């Protein structure tokens, strides 16, 4: 009887629990707290952190590989969708269906702000190489600066799968912390007078323009950078569903049911890669630090481009819009609106900021395509 109880105890998690696993459980619970109590990116942070919690129990079968005819674990099969590059592009389908490209079409100059905000990606890529990361790992770390979770997951799954847990947690953490990280950088680089600039109302974009835009983007990007097509193709298809007027059912499905299912699968699968053996390393600390640098440089370079455009336009462009060039939609645009109204209570910058914000989504996908082509 005692021998049976002893054998049973040895088969439980209590007998096999290690300090690294306990540490990862604590991190997962903290991330759950941020997602639930603080509402930091809850739709993805909650499933990611719960997946992280699930895979850090000792003797956990959820990520087991199939062996000798025995099936693998549940999360192992879910993760195949990331490994094969399926979930992130389909998430982009939903983003496209949810996004109005009108502000970008109305003011195409804001493409420059979206492009400038990608500087952080390439600067951090060089920084990661300096710290000894491989070319593929450096590309995966640099893309955090785009503040686009699905893009970071897609690129990392293709170039450096072992870093997926650290990169995804860093990417979504910084996306969630946009309202905390960006305002000090914006205030440091701009004057109150610049932040108070009120902009002219955007012109009304026709239905024909909105339909032609995703088609033209794909024709151009598909010829110049085919490796960006999985992300950009799905983004533009979703937007075409939204705008063409004959696929309302498909648009609503992409926005809601399909997107919600994919968010659950993506979040749990990403969290499943954050086991103690992969996550609790010096590399993870370096990745999180470099990710913060990437995001800060991206914000700063966008604002500096905004200042240049402000000067060249004779003070008609509010440089705050440059901060929205990172692809955290729509949080970065909301930050611009909030900081702008602090300087000028009558200021309304949200729709103007959505232009560079959408451009940032396109820019980060193009940056990922460049890394995939070169690395």
- Rounded to whole angstroms, how far apart are CA atoms 340 and 331? 14
Residues of the chain with pLDDT under 50: none
Q: For the chain, report the end-to-end CA distance as a whole number of angstroms.
A: 60
- Rounded to whole angstroms, how far apart are CA atoms 213 and 234? 14
- Rounded to whole angstroms, how far apart are CA atoms 152 and 163? 11
CA torsion sign, 290 to 296 to 299 to 301?
A: negative
Region of 155 (left: φ > 0; alpha: ψ -120 to 50; beta: rest) is alpha
CA distances from 161 to 20, 94, 323, 347 (A): 21, 24, 30, 44
pLDDT in tens, 249-277: 999 999 999 999 999 999 899 888 888 88
Is-contact 251 97, C-beta < 8 A? yes
pLDDT in tens, 192-242: 999 999 888 888 999 999 999 999 999 999 999 999 999 999 999 999 999
Cis upstream peptide for 330 (omega within 30°): yes
What pLDDT is attached to residue 11? 66
- Rounded to whole angstroms, how far apart are CA atoms 298 and 118? 6
């Amino acid at each position: 009887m005692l021998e049976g109880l002893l054998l049973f105890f040895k088969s439980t998690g209590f007998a096999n629990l290690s300090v690294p696993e306990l540490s990862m459980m604590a991190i997962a619970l903290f991330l759950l707290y941020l997602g639930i109590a603080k509402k930091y990116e809850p739709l993805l942070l909650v499933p990611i952190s719960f997946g992280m919690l699930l895979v850090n129990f000792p003797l956990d079968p959820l990520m087991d590989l199939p062996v000798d005819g025995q099936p693998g674990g549940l999360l192992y099969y879910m993760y195949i969708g990331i490994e094969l590059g399926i979930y992130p592009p389909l998430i982009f389908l939903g983003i496209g269906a949810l996004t109005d490209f009108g502000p970008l079409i109305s003011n195409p100059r804001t493409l420059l702000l979206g492009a400038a905000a990608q500087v952080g990606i390439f600067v951090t890529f060089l920084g990661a190489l300096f710290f000894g990361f491989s070319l593929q790992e450096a590309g995966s770390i640099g893309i955090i600066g785009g503040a686009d979770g699905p893009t970071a997951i897609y690129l990392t799954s293709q170039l450096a799968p072992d870093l997926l847990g650290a990169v995804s947690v860093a990417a979504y953490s910084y996306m969630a912390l946009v309202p905390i990280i960006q305002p000090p950088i914006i205030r440091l680089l701009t004057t109150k007078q610049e932040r108070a600039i009120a902009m002219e109302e955007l012109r009304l974009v026709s239905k024909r323009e909105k339909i032609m835009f995703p088609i033209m983007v794909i024709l151009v990007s598909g010829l110049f950078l085919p490796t960006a097509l999985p992300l950009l193709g799905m983004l533009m298809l979703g937007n075409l569903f939204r705008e063409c007027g004959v696929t309302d059912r498909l648009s609503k499905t992409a926005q809601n049911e399909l997107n919600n299912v994919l968010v659950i699968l993506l979040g749990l699968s990403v969290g499943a890669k954050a086991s103690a053996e992969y996550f609790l390393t010096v590399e993870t600390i370096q990745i999180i630090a470099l990710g913060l640098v990437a995001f800060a440089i991206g914000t700063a370079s966008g604002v500096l481009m905004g200042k240049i455009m402000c000067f060249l336009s004779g003070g008609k462009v509010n440089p705050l819009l440059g901060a929205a060039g990172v692809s955290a939609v729509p949080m970065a645009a909301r930050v611009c609106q909030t900081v702008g109204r602090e300087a000028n209570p009558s200021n309304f910058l949200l729709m103007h900021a959505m232009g560079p914000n959408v451009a940032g989504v396109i820019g980060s996908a193009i940056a990922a395509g460049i890394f995939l082509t070169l690395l």
